Amino acid sequence: MKKRILIPVLCLLCAFPALVKCENLTPRVSNPSRGLFVSLIQDPPTLSSREAIMKLVDFAKKARIKILFVQIYRANQAWFPSKVGDSAPYEAALKTVGEDPFALLIREAHAAGIEVYAWLNMLSLGANEDAPFLKKYGPDILTRNLEEKKALEDYKIDKQYFLEPGDTRVRNELVTMVEEVVRIYPLLDGIQFDYLRYPDSHPQYGYTPINMDRFKRSTGLKKIKEGSRAWNDWKRAQVTELLRLLVQKARAIRSGIHVSATGCMSYTRALHEAFQDWPSWVNSSLVDFVTVMNYSPDPAEYEQWNGVAKDKVPDHARLYLGVGAYKLVRAPEVFEKEFRSCEESGGGLCAVFHYGSLLENPMLEKPLLAQKKDPGNEKV
């Protein structure tokens, strides 16, 4: 009888908002899934050997990982046979492994019941001054502020080069690269788009000739006022439009492929410095889910930022929450606390960043390998 009475009572309470905050009745994801980012910055990268690939899959199975986010494109270098990026890393791994290493990983992961997403760093060239994009177009495709540029080094922002999201040439190249990935790997479960943002060490970027010209023609404004709503909205729209083009291409080739994007945290930083409106991406179903990069080493701040993310995305099942193991390599007890917090947060998935950090300090593996509690033995 108690169960039959519960629903009418909830409806009655929602009819009188002064009595209760009804948004708190949003369905909670009681057992979130787990994800693991596998980075190319590991030394050596996992895709470099068959043994390392098998070790990863074995660990992921033991840790009950649902999705492996495997980096195959970074700094305009490709770990797949690409004509857009520098495929030298792929060619080297192909010789060592004896077959396409990413295809091998997908096959072995699927056999273990694990999904694989291609993790792609889109707008960052890292510190790669030999990037094919730079050789083809020169520094004109790099986003910039208004300071004078005399050498390529002057374009560096936070020790890396950033492509301009409002440059149509950049968009065409990245869309082509996504097409390569989806066509080459028909068994791929999804794509994780990363680095879809402006650099956020300072918001005064976007001053490339093509981007400024497009802004003026689109708005009818003859001058750009830094910090103005029109200019900020424009930059935010360029990031979203680039994502839209990438998603459209992927889904045009394979309608069922899952697409995701990473979102910066804090939310204020994302919206006003990186010019990412990531809640709109997932709330409008532009992407299937969004993975927020909550890498605060402070557990209290970590919980606070996750709370903000949940407020911005009502469908918590489509909100994936990151846990920054890479910042907590020397503090496994803090990582465990944040990981436990993530699993109890009500998000759809807890994504650990990244596998290389777990290899660096195996103590970080503890909460992932702990035996799952039997719900039948828990008190209600």
Higher model confidence: residue 203 or residue 285?
A: 285
The reply to whether 359 falls in a domain is: yes
Which of 222, 252, 265 is CA-nearest to residue 351? 265
Give the mean pLDDT of 293-311: 97
Whether the per-residue pLDDT at 379 is higher than 70: the answer is: no
> Helix, strand or coil for residue 115?
strand
The reply to whether 19 falls in a domain is: no
Cβ atoms within 10 A of the Cβ of 216, count?
A: 14
Which domain covers residue 265, as residue numbers?
Answer: 29-367
Taking the C-alpha atoms of residue 330 and residue 337, their distance in angstroms, rounded to an integer, is 14
Taking CA atoms, 332 is separated from 39, 296, 326, 337, 358, in Å, by 20, 14, 10, 9, 10
User: pLDDT (tens digit, 9 = 90+) per residue, 236-268?
Assistant: 999 999 999 999 999 999 999 999 999 999 999
User: pLDDT (tens digit, 9 = 90+) per residue, 95-134?
Assistant: 999 999 999 999 999 999 999 999 999 999 999 999 999 9
Looking at residue 32, its pLDDT comes to 81
The reply to whether 372 falls in a domain is: no
Contact 77, 128 (CB under 8 A): yes
CATH number assigned to the domain comprising residue 178 = 3.20.20.80
Looking at residue 375, its pLDDT comes to 47
Q: Which residues contact 11 (CB under 8 A, 6 or more apart)?
A: none
Give the mean pLDDT of 145-152: 95
The reply to whether 206 falls in a domain is: yes
Which of 239, 234, 261 is CA-nearest to residue 250? 261
pLDDT band at 30 (very low <50, low <70, confident <90, very high): low
Instruction: Enumerate the H helices of the chain as residue ranges.
Output: 2-15, 50-62, 88-97, 101-111, 132-137, 168-184, 209-219, 229-253, 267-272, 278-283, 299-312, 332-343, 355-360, 366-369
Contact 137, 169 (CB under 8 A): yes
67-74/319-324 β-pairing: unpaired
Which of 279, 250, 284, 251 is CA-nearest to residue 264? 279
The reply to whether 379 falls in a domain is: no
Average pLDDT score over the chain: 91
ω into 44 cis (within 30 of 0): yes
Give the mean pLDDT of 32-49: 94
Give the mean pLDDT of 57-61: 98
Looking at residue 31, its pLDDT comes to 67
The reply to whether 327 falls in a domain is: yes
Looking at residue 372, its pLDDT comes to 66
41-50, 67-76, 115-124, range with the lowest pLDDT: 41-50
Taking the C-alpha atoms of residue 260 and residue 336, their distance in angstroms, rounded to an integer, is 26
The tokens describing 160, both together, are: 């890396």
Give the mean pLDDT of 170-189: 98
The reply to whether 15 falls in a domain is: no
The reply to whether 10 falls in a domain is: no
Higher model confidence: residue 14 or residue 230?
A: 230
Domains in the chain: how many in total?
A: 1
